[in-house]
Amino acid sequence: MGRLQGKTALVTGGTSGIGLETAKLFVAEGAKVAVTGLDPERLETTRAELGPEALVFGADVSDRQAMETVAARIRETWGHLDVVFANAGVFRAAPIERMDEATMDLLLGTNFKGVVHTVQATLPLLAPGASVIFTSSAVDSKGYAGMSLYAATKAAVRSLARSLSAELVDRGIRVNVVAPGAIETPIWGRTGLPQEVVDGMAAGIKDTNPMKRFGKPSEIARTVLFLASDDSSYILGQNLYVDGGTQAL
């Protein structure tokens, strides 16, 4: 029997990278899974990968009404949710003097407000014993040049999880955070930076990583599965770094 047998789960940003790997693992472990994404082509390929029982929504997490619509569809179909993985996020890097208003709005709207919208929309569907997981980042507590606004949004998510843990524990809902280090995902192709700059950043990250490599989406997915399952039933309000030892060593 799978570790999520009979459970229902929502994965935002579930059509690529960490989100897609997690959604596929959830399905393999017995869950019924709903995912959100934005790219029409990836939405279609995700439907094929997850199978006919999956719910696949084109929805922008920065839009509160869009997430309310997703929640309403899930209620109509399944009635409740056992797991919410608020994973949708964007990465943009630039020196602070080049951080324009549009980029700030994108980072804050997706990485922070998107998490809040996801929680607000799905909270009425969460049964006692539900698990809520946020995606933060290993940069949430460490300074990296050029990542100030991105890191700030991820630190905000970390802080939000602490407060929500205190707020929701009496309702039997656990909130935890997974904080990946550098992971091999398509997000590196959407930084807004020239390729040579991205390549330089990647090389620097590998050099300073104790394991000398990027992580794989599947490694984060297995961590999220642990936090989603009853195996982590006594874990609450934690920020679990999955970063090859960068924070610790």
Summarised one tens digit per residue, pLDDT across range 131-157 is 999 999 988 887 777 789 999 999 999
- Out of 7, 24, 150, 241, which one is annotated catalytic? 150
Q: What is the pLDDT of residues 71-122, one digit of tens each?
A: 999 999 999 999 999 999 999 888 899 889 999 999 999 999 999 999 999 9
What average pLDDT does the structure give for the chain? 92
Q: How far is CA 23 from CA 56, 57, 74, 78, 162, in A?
A: 11, 13, 16, 17, 25
Q: CB–CB of 214/183 below 8 Å?
A: yes
Question: Which residue type sits at 205?
Answer: I
The closest of 118, 101, 87 to 217, measured between CA atoms, is 87
Q: How far is CA 68 from CA 58, 59, 61, 63, 178, in A?
A: 13, 10, 10, 9, 24
Given a cut of 90, whether residue 203 has pLDDT beyond it is: no
The closest of 139, 220, 138 to 184, measured between CA atoms, is 220
Q: Name the pLDDT band for 166 (thresholds 50, 70, 90).
A: very high
Q: What domains are defined for the chain?
A: 8-188+216-239 (3.40.50.720)
| pLDDT reported for residue 212 | 80
- Out of 24, 32, 154, 241, which one is annotated catalytic? 154
Among this protein's residues, is 154 annotated catalytic? yes
**Taking the CB of residue 124, how many other CB atoms lie within 10 A of it?**
10
